[in-house]
Structure 1
């Protein structure tokens, strides 16, 4: 049984507010292999709900005011650099929280909705100090009352000491809170613009980790009760949590989840990459009903592309991202090991097009699906994080596709030599004319070689793009355990570098947020 979950139950049981309460969520499985885990998850969910309920009850019993607020550090036992501040007012007001930083960029400010009962999450505390937190009651954009409190925190785990450093800074960052997960360090953490760790969660993940969801929540692919296969282990559980460490739901994927968890629409069903375990892995997409946890659709990529030399490999596709378009119910997949982006119809599984070096599909029946290049293109190889992007100023009716091009070939079945821009990875922007089945390359943002993993973040309204290089090493012969990460922030229009960071641990993905985007929506 997972030690961190056992610790969580013990910690929760020790919290003064804990009382019993019924759980409205029924356990979804009594499979002998998973039932004990499910009971544990259910108990944690009930206990987490009880903690919040008892904060509400405490506010009813005692007159906590802005001058004498209830302060609970690490309320759910998993996020040491967090707290809850709670109090009531006689009138409706919003609460503006300011967590003082060492610089203006590292000062976090966010505001709650109007209410008389205020239960406010505090995120972004520094470790090993008395953190200064300002509380302002706001009415009509004016502060009508205020208080300043301090919240003491303990030191970081040794592993996170000096985990991030800022290596270049020419302009202010586009976002102030970067979450890193997966790779060599399996507990997601976040750092500020100066590289200081300001959040981490004591939940061990699989090699992929954290995926943002709507309404202040995220998904974690848990790192225990793993499923053995010929190549590696896979996790059967996905946790839905928030930045205070509260667990809301647990989803069971009996054949194992990997690489991607995404919402079909805000607060909607989950689209997850999974395994068929029918002689192959990392070849399946599933849809999970968000309310029941039931898998309501499963699509095997091998039913779309088959009878090629590539299909003979155990992990032949290695799908590492999905990008869903609700307008036409289509999906762009990233089967890494065939160095392609593939668009399909989610309803019926029809193949629509393939974006790749045409040489990859030249001797197969799928060559007619390959988009025809217009102009000069430096092709991508063994890419990650392929996503359709909206609101890009480009040619009318063209689809804008971005990806992280690792620009390596390790699949022995792909007999291609990389000659252009060899030894560098890049974020790449393609523009696709779907009517004429053509593609042109708009721009590349090349930098250090990341041989696996990695992703990008696009903020077109801010004219910024961030390249998260998650897997650098001195040479291709060095072990994976030696890899580190680098993050580069560029001016989107000019490609000029404006900021960069060095990370001690190689990672799967990084996501840059405003702290107000992850709490109090």
Structure 2
């Protein structure tokens, strides 16, 4: 028997739009000029959602022609959710033409409480508190058409939550596999370059409950089919003015959290292939990890270099200085490169090469060839350094870099001279080996170390590490406290007998620059073994506001099988009270290729300390 479905009847009320009432009218203009007559909920202007096209979970409540001051915004949390509440400077109100609203839940009818003083054209001041009801749409990002990829936003699971961190917001900088529309675009001049790394962006801000409260929809500023508008979005930092800086491919950019463009610039022509690190320095300049567009090698060949140049740019984009690391370090030091797992060389994942290493013969044959680009090897024009962070030290006008493929952290002065190397002394030229720091115990006694290993101690160097950050609040001109993520591949210059013997660590070092020693103060991760092992990416960073260490183990549980990656990693996002070996806060990011993460400070974005930024 067949049943015919009954039609669904919807009762429709007739709506009369009158030009005489501002709240019900949707027309604009007219004989009186550019008067705005859009619907509005409250006592000022209309609501504009996603005002700058790249931040869908934001909105602006327009000022309605009034002057506003003394603004506070609160997003009413979901049951048992995390509250977002912030004050807004008058400068931000003027910049956005109204009240900026940040932190809407996606696919949800949000209640937004605002309080403000409204100043009329006659100078009358009226204190107002009111509620707005704002719907924000679901997260909408790129998909590849497969049923298994219905949503490209990661899921989260809160493992541990300390009340001290209940107000935290975290910016998570992750990556997605390139969808087909962009995966065929590779810059073959020669093979390799930024578009070989054209992963699709997955950048979001989550609250302490694990809910997405902001995400970047890059469509209007990103084009996977364009050499100059694609690449991997990396190196996010929140500056003193609260805005975000980062880079991707051939660009470096600055946007505020509402999505307003401050600048979006192509790299200076001398350089190409930004990735990993853009440091907003204390001197107001930007330090970018790039590569040289054209280098004349000693053999007379012209090549593009690979991830081995630091350029310093002024606020207006002029090149102030550069550090050409192939002239400063040794691009032929191969002891680390010969120990790397070729299946996971940073983001270049090749399961067919898992566990394999390069021999001296392999490197010698490679160097005789014209194989250039993003390949692990020695010599200018190959990925010999793979610098993944740069941090400016204002006490002596120097930079601190992390070189993954040298398993070394290096401090270099304005004069381009190496000040010290934190890493095993093996394999360096004598003049550089002399600059390696001496490991000491808590009493300052030198430790016995050979072939990258130190006996009878917990001290270890870092191996294929990421993020060597100076802890400014604890450091001075003599002593440097350094936070590092020790990924752990090629530990002690070898691959272990079994892959699951590898482990990663979050580490804090103390460097005495006068005595030229290094002491390991704290570590976490070794005791967890392989389950916490991140072969690539990740971050460790000190947070002064809570005297804590934030750790992002970004690629644990990544599996490589039958020539491809099987399943996405499940990153750990943690915060530790300084000195503690037990995390006070922990969120798992489920099913996502992690790069880095950091706390995002909402008050910094909207309520500047001097009121003039």
Partner of 1:241: 255
Q: Which runs of 5+ in 2 are unaligned?
A: 1-32, 119-125, 141-149, 177-199, 223-229, 296-302, 335-377, 442-456, 609-613
Residue 507 (structure 1) shift = 1.7
Q: Which of 67, 82, 98 is the matching residue for 1:119?
A: 98
* CA distance in 2: counterparts of 1:181 and 1:488, whole angstroms: 15
* CA distance in 2: counterparts of 1:217 and 1:91, whole angstroms: 24
The answer to whether 1:303 aligns with 2:327 is yes
Larger radius of gyration: 2
Q: Please list, as runs of the form range in 1=range in 2, the aligned pairs for 1:5-154 lying within 5 A after superposition.
A: 67-87=43-63, 93-102=69-78, 106-114=82-90, 119-137=98-116, 144-154=127-137
Q: Secondary structure at the match of 2:105?
A: coil
Q: Please list, as runs of the form range in 1=range in 2, the aligned pairs for 1:35-434 lying within 5 A after superposition.
A: 67-87=43-63, 93-102=69-78, 106-114=82-90, 119-137=98-116, 144-157=127-140, 158-161=150-153, 163-173=155-165, 175-184=167-176, 186-203=201-218, 204=222, 206-209=231-234, 211-214=236-239, 215-222=241-248, 235-253=249-267, 254=269, 255-265=272-282, 268-277=284-293, 278=295, 279=303, 280-291=305-316, 293-306=317-330, 308-310=332-334, 311-312=378-379, 314-345=382-413, 347-361=414-428, 364-375=430-441, 376=457, 377-392=459-474, 397-409=478-490, 415-416=493-494, 423-434=502-513
Change (3 A) 1:409 1:307: closer
Q: Which runs of 5+ in 1 are unaligned?
A: 1-56, 223-234
> How many residues end up aligned between the 2 structures?
441
Contact 1:453 1:471 in 2 (8 A): yes
Contact 1:175 1:512 in 2 (8 A): no
* CA distance in 2: counterparts of 1:517 and 1:160, whole angstroms: 29
CA root-mean-square deviation: 3.2
Q: Secondary structure at the match of 1:312?
A: coil
Contact 2:331 2:384 in 1 (8 A): no
Residue 111 (structure 1) shift = 0.5
Contact 1:472 1:506 in 2 (8 A): no
* CA distance in 2: counterparts of 1:126 and 1:65, whole angstroms: 19
* CA distance in 2: counterparts of 1:75 and 1:250, whole angstroms: 18
* CA distance in 1: counterparts of 2:235 and 2:79, whole angstroms: 27
Contact 1:324 1:331 in 2 (8 A): yes
* CA distance in 2: counterparts of 1:476 and 1:364, whole angstroms: 39
Partner of 2:596: 509
TM-score, length basis structure 1: 0.77
Change (3 A) 1:327 1:83: same
Contact 2:84 2:167 in 1 (8 A): no
* CA distance in 1: counterparts of 2:85 and 2:550, whole angstroms: 23
Residue 134 (structure 1) shift = 0.3
Contact 1:463 1:491 in 2 (8 A): yes
Residue 415 (structure 1) shift = 3.4
Contact 1:210 1:218 in 2 (8 A): no
Contact 2:42 2:132 in 1 (8 A): no
Of Structure 1 and Structure 2, the greater strand share is in 1
Contact 1:175 1:514 in 2 (8 A): no
Q: Secondary structure at the match of 1:337?
A: helix
